[in-house]
Structure 1
Amino acid sequence: MKVLGIESSCDETGIAIYDTDKGLIADQLYSQVALHAEYGGVVPELASRDHIQKTTPLIKAALKESGLSFKDIDGIAYTRGPGLIGALMVGASIGRSLAWGLGIPAVGVHHMEGHLLAPMLDENQTIDFPFVALLVSGGHTMLVEVKAIGDYRIMGESLDDAVGEAFDKTAKMLGLGYPGGPVLAALAEKGEPGAYDFPRPMIRQGGLDFSYSGLKTFALTTWNSSTKTEQVKANISHAFQEAVVDTLFIKCKRALKDAEAKRLIIAGGVGANKRLREKLQELPADVFFPPMKYCTDNGAMIAYAGALRLQAGQTEPAEIQPKPRWSLEELNAI
């Protein structure tokens, strides 16, 4: 089965074609980072308009890359949610209409399920169920117990800022630009260990929920009361990153114990963070990461997740119904 995947939940337009026999055979991605940079964050209206302009050309590019035509496509998968409603509407409208016109099945994919399954795109690693997944991105931070595809239990999640959001906002406070998360992480490598000691939020009271708004405020207070030098900026970046990574490490260790699991999957944009990857390797478990290019939003993860559901016989009526708010626990197991 050859499945065309469309990702348009936020500020990346991703198109891919996944062949259940041959694997990923086309992958196209356009990032809107430059478009939103001057505003210091994603502008939903601009994001939607850009998806409208880029989706169809990228579909044509993916077909050309794979050597296929529309008549060779067996199914369409698109991101149904969660995400920005306008951006989701673009992908859902194009995907569902294309499937109707071609007379083939379509399925709306949960964005976070796509991230959760992204490590399986790496043909060099085999991941067996069950496992615990740490989903860390600009919009989500959560720990999920995964017994099978679609059989999910949310063990803990952020009560305020997601990890990626906290990185970007802290970077903005330090004048590092947008998106600032990767810049802050790079600057942290130049920081002096022990120069500052930042708190580790919500680790003493137990549980698996996260909170990063207070840590972000602590970083701002520290910066405002310090001498404004590049080394101080690097030291704050280092202290902030260490606090975030330590918190994630502690929560992952608890989650593995709670689920009695021996495998941990990391997914989402923050999964590309070098320090996080190093630290989580210390856990008493097998730890899996997606290929670096599949950490951020992409069409490949949507095509793959959609292919699994279409193969299992899941289809949907010819309706366009994006879901900007959608819990993983609402999905059906396959």
Structure 2
Amino acid sequence: MNPPDSTKLQTARIQIWGKGYRVTSDTEEFQRYVPLQSSTEVTLEKTISTLQWGRILEPIYALAERELAAQRCMLFNPSELMALSFSKTEDKHRRPSIILITATSSIDWTQDDIGETAARISALVCRLALDYGGILKGNPEELGLHLRNGNFLPSRDFDLVEEHDDRAIEWGAVLGEVKKWRGIHGVATPRLLSLGANIVLGTRHEAERSQQNYPVDGYFDIRDKEIRALSARLDRWPIPPAQLEAPTANQPSPPSPDVDIRPIAESLVRIEQRLERIFEIALDFRDFILWDKKKR
């Protein structure tokens, strides 16, 4: 990707989820550490607060750290994009535990830079998941006090300008395809489909196998960099007439009326005459060969 345009890239607002501290009263065993209050608006943050975490977390515990770090998930709505990333940690009894980081950013689907936003917001959650997994390891009591008092972070907003791209996924290509389809709620590797995505970042085989457990509607073909639909719930957005009529790479635009094309036409006539002459010579040569064979 090209270097980020600091005038376009914006901030992302994060959430931190984990186990071991009792912080928020509206969440159960898997606690929302940051923020203390759940969003009252219809947002992606509100949506994930309603997930059944028990069935989601159980298979994640079975993943090795390296495999867990390779998982990706991104959810969408008409005005937001949310990236999610898990990391392993430990509770105060040194038992395996899980940290989840989400980051949400407002987006405009008509803009061309949403691929840059996606690449950097994905990198942000992956980085913070590892960082906070280490910081919260063992559930230090002092950090628990900061979480309960709401001053664990000075701000939930993180600048995306300085963030590096997540190069594990070609997010520019993925988001370019997402824009073409109606009915996409999110994209994810197979292990994180339980978070609400309906497009698999993987192979057709992985997508079809995942349909046994999740409402998968398609997959992103990494080779062709296209989304392939697997159900009627996906529908392509109509192509604007201006795009249908636009010349393609193999269909050059007609010349401007101000351009004098007579020299071009004259050159084509001369080329045609030369080709005809070459063809006549070839015929004469063929006749000579045939005549020579008969003579022998």
Verify same fold: TM over 0.5: no
| TM-score between the two structures when normalised by the length of structure 2 | 0.26
Higher relative contact order (CA 8 A, sep 6+): 1
| TM-score between the two structures when normalised by the length of structure 1 | 0.23
* Higher share of residues assigned helix: 1
